[in-house]
């Protein structure tokens, strides 16, 4: 009898277990094929987001090349060979050998910030270090990315050569490079990766205001500080207690340009060229119009020209501006529409005064604008000739064997701010608390770095003018105004 009972109970238990497993399997299958979950979600995400494996290829501490030097005109084969050997040694964990190769590469070509960052990382190897990341638009704006990387690389090189970040101990600074292509979706994904890496204590980035706003949501949620050295849109002011910047916002730039137009040029009416698809461009345009109108000037709504309009014509737009009595053309152009901004410069032929925001500060404008661009005034955060006696200028020219521009100075400042915060409190919450403190300050490229309560830089704008010159190699230079 007992044996029959045992068999009965065994059958019941087995049946019950199988029933539970079937129910669970049905629920799991149902879960995985819901649109918001599991395998279906992975399929959907692959359609709308960047492939995770591809994303990993855009983040490097020295184990992969992100900057293709030959695309920038550097065809030094010895440099490229040594750099590639260093990359392979870095990927294999042979840090001492990697350092030897990166050092050899630098000796062949000095102006290579990615390589210098990897060299310093290789010298650190597996030793304790404080890690920060820098997010740059290598895929879409290689020159702009290199300008930012130079500032970060110089700050890292200086602090590590001095022994490291000096608090209780001397700890070196490691830098991870991320390429976000200036794409908001990719920037947000990269920010998520950095947030989930507990070793990363701060970020320098991103470049475009749209990328910084998208990534800023992740940094805010993950409580990781980012300091943009380039993003200027007013929407970033007070956006998050974890988002700072070492460049003045567009309201300050617009005020400087408007003031120059109304008081120096003594002209009242302007036409504005902008990109309605770009946050920075719209921000600068709206603030400029506001400043001009508030202070007695005029920008008619039909003199606001959208450079992103498929039917845009530089010739017709300039002709209309002349016919409507405009005295000034203001170019609130971003990198994506620089070619159209150049067409405006050429169509104008120096008939109307030209003003522009900082994205127009590029060698391309000098080289292709030629004589038609002479006299154009551009607002930037910093200029090397505006600070002739600065220690930063001397060191940067010695390090890169070349002159640097405002993006290098502001990214240097962003890195110096993070170094100062890490010195006081090398934790994520600590970095945010130090930077947010009213008495925070750090030594920058030419002045003291201080932040306002909304995360903005407490700083000013430098106006520069395009004039004939020999420094840039194009026949024209950006020259600081003492206005």
- Tell me the per-residue pLDDT of 177-198, one tens digit each, with 9 for 90 and over: 999 999 999 999 999 999 999 9
Average pLDDT score over residue span 256-276:
98
- What's the pLDDT at 387? 82
End-to-end CA distance of the chain: 107
Residue count of the chain, please give it.
483
> Phi and psi at residue 333, in whole multiples of 5°?
-85, 145
- Residue 284 near residue 278 (C-beta atoms within 8 A): no
- Is the model's pLDDT at 9 over the cut of 80? no
pLDDT of residue 74: 81
CATH class of 250-380+463-480: alpha beta
pLDDT reported for residue 369: 97
Whole-number mean pLDDT of the chain? 91
Q: Tell me what pLDDT residue 51 has.
A: 61
In the block, tokens 């002159």 appear at: 403
Choose the weakest-confidence range: 19-28, 268-277, 392-401, 422-431.
Answer: 19-28
Closest residue by Cα to residue 420 from 222, 60, 158, 192: 158
Chain centroid to CA 120: 21
- Name the residue with higher pLDDT: 390 or 70: 390
For the cut 70, the answer to whether the pLDDT of residue 13 exceeds it is no
Section 311-318 average pLDDT? 98
Per-residue model confidence as pLDDT tens digits over 456-483: 999 999 999 999 999 999 999 999 998 6
Domain ranges in the chain?
Answer: 53-247+391-451, 250-380+463-480
User: CA of 35: how far to CAs of 23, 39, 51, 76, 281, in Å?
Assistant: 21, 9, 18, 51, 37
Please report which confidence band the pLDDT of residue 26 belongs to, taking 50, 70 and 90 as the band edges: very low
- In this structure, are strands 462-468 and 476-480 parallel, antiparallel, or unpaired? antiparallel
Location of structure tokens 């049946």: 15
Closest to 74 measured CA to CA, from 120, 109, 31, 28: 109
- Which pLDDT belongs to residue 397? 95
| Mean pLDDT confidence for 380-385 | 96
Classified as helix, coil or strand, 443 is strand
- pLDDT higher than 70, residue 20: no
3-state helix, strand, coil in the chain (%, to 5): 55, 15, 35
- Tell the burial category of 190 from Cβ atoms under 10 Å away from its Cβ (0-12, 13-18, 19+): buried
Residue, of 240 and 5, whose pLDDT is higher? 240
Which whole number is the average pLDDT over 101-114? 97
What's 336's DSSP letter?
A: G
Q: CA 22 from chain center: how many Å?
A: 52
State how far the Cα of 119 lies from the Cα of 111, in Å rounded to an integer. Answer: 13
Q: Is CATH 3.40.50.2300 correct for 53-247+391-451?
A: yes
Is the predicted pLDDT of residue 69 greater than 50, yes or no?
A: yes
Q: Is 302 exposed, middle or buried (0-12, 13-18, 19+ CB in 10 A)?
A: exposed
Q: How high is the pLDDT of residue 483?
A: 60
- Token pair recorded at residue 366: 């000098």
Global model pTM greater than 0.75: yes
> Phi/psi class of residue 362: alpha, beta or left (left: φ > 0; alpha: ψ in -120 to 50)?
beta
250-380+463-480 and 53-247+391-451 share a CATH fold:
yes
pLDDT: which is higher, 167 or 226: 226
**Does residue 44 carry a pLDDT above 70?**
no
Strand, helix or coil at 180?
coil
- The pLDDT of residue 210 is 97
For residue 183, the SS3 value is coil
The per-residue pLDDT for 48 is 33
**Confidence band, pLDDT 50/70/90 cuts, at residue 267:** very high
pLDDT band at 159 (very low <50, low <70, confident <90, very high): very high
Q: Are strands 243-245 and 226-228 parallel, antiparallel or unpaired?
A: parallel
Give the per-residue pLDDT at 70.
Answer: 73
* pLDDT of amino acid 238: 98
DSSP character string of 117-143: HHHHHHHHTTS--EEEEEEE-TTT-HH
Using 50, 70 and 90 to split pLDDT, how confident is the model at 42? very low
Closest CA to 354 of 374, 338, 381, 384: 374
Q: How confident is the model at residue 10, as a pLDDT?
A: 52
pLDDT of residue 168: 63
Distance CA 481, CA 2 (A): 103
Say yes or no to pLDDT of 352 above 70. Answer: yes
Please tell me the predicted confidence (pLDDT) of residue 90: 98
- Rounded-to-integer distance, Cα 377 and Cα 462, Å: 10
Work out the average pLDDT over 378-407.
94
Strand order of the sheet with strand 173-179? 59-60, 173-179, 130-136, 200-204, 226-228, 243-245
- Number of Cα atoms under 13 Å in the Cβ half of residue 235: 19
Q: What percent of the chain has pLDDT above 70?
A: 88
Asked whether residue 349 carries a pLDDT value surpassing 90, the answer given is yes
């Amino acid at each position: 009898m007992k044996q029959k009972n045992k068999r009965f109970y065994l059958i019941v238990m087995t049946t019950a277990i199988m029933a539970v497993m079937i129910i669970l399997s049905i629920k799991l299958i149902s879960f995985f094929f819901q649109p918001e979950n599991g395998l279906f979600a992975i399929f959907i995400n692959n359609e709308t987001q960047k492939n995770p494996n591809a994303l990993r290829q855009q983040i490097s501490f020295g184990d992969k090349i992100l900057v293709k030097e030959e695309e920038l005109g550097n065809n030094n084969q010895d440099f490229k060979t040594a750099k590639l050997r260093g990359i392979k040694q870095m990927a294999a964990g042979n840090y001492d050998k990697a350092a030897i190769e990166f050092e050899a590469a630098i000796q062949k070509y000095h102006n290579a910030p990615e390589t210098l960052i990897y060299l310093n990382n290789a010298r650190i190897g597996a030793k304790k270090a404080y890690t920060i990341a820098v997010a740059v638009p290598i895929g879409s704006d290689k020159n702009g990315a290199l300008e930012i990387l130079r500032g970060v690389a110089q700050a890292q090189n200086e602090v590590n050569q001095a022994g490291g970040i000096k608090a209780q101990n001397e700890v070196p600074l490691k830098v991870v490079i991320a390429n976000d292509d200036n794409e908001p979706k990719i920037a947000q994904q990269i920010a998520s990766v950095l947030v989930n890496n507990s070793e990363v204590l701060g970020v320098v980035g991103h470049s475009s205001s749209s990328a910084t706003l998208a990534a800023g949501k992740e940094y805010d949620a993950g409580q990781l500080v980012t300091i943009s050295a380039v993003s200027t849109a007013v929407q970033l002011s007070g956006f998050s207690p974890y988002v700072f910047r070492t460049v003045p916002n567009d309201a300050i730039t617009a005020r400087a340009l408007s003031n120059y137009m109304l008081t120096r040029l003594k002209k009242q009416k302007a036409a504005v060229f902008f990109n309605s698809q770009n946050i920075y461009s719209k921000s600068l345009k709206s603030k400029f119009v506001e400043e001009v109108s508030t202070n007695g000037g005029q920008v008619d709504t039909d003199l606001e020209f959208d450079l992103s309009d498929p039917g845009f014509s530089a010739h017709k737009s300039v002709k209309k501006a002349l016919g409507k009595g405009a005295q000034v053309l203001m170019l609130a152009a971003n990198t994506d529409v620089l070619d159209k901004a150049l067409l405006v410069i050429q169509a104008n032929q120096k008939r109307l005064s030209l003003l522009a925001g900082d994205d127009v500060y590029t060698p391309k404008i000098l080289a292709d604008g030629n004589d038609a661009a002479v006299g154009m005034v551009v607002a930037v955060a910093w200029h090397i000739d505006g600070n002739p006696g600065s220690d930063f200028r001397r060191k940067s020219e010695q390090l890169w064997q070349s002159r640097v521009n405002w993006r290098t100075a502001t990214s240097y400042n962003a890195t110096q701010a993070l170094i100062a915060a890490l010195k006081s409190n090398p934790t994520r919450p600590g970095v945010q608390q130090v930077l947010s403190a009213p008495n925070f300050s750090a030594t920058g490229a030419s002045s003291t770095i201080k932040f306002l309560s909304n995360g903005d830089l407490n700083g000013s704008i430098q106006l520069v003018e395009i004039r004939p010159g020999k420094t840039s190699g194009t026949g024209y230079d950006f020259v600081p105004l003492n206005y």
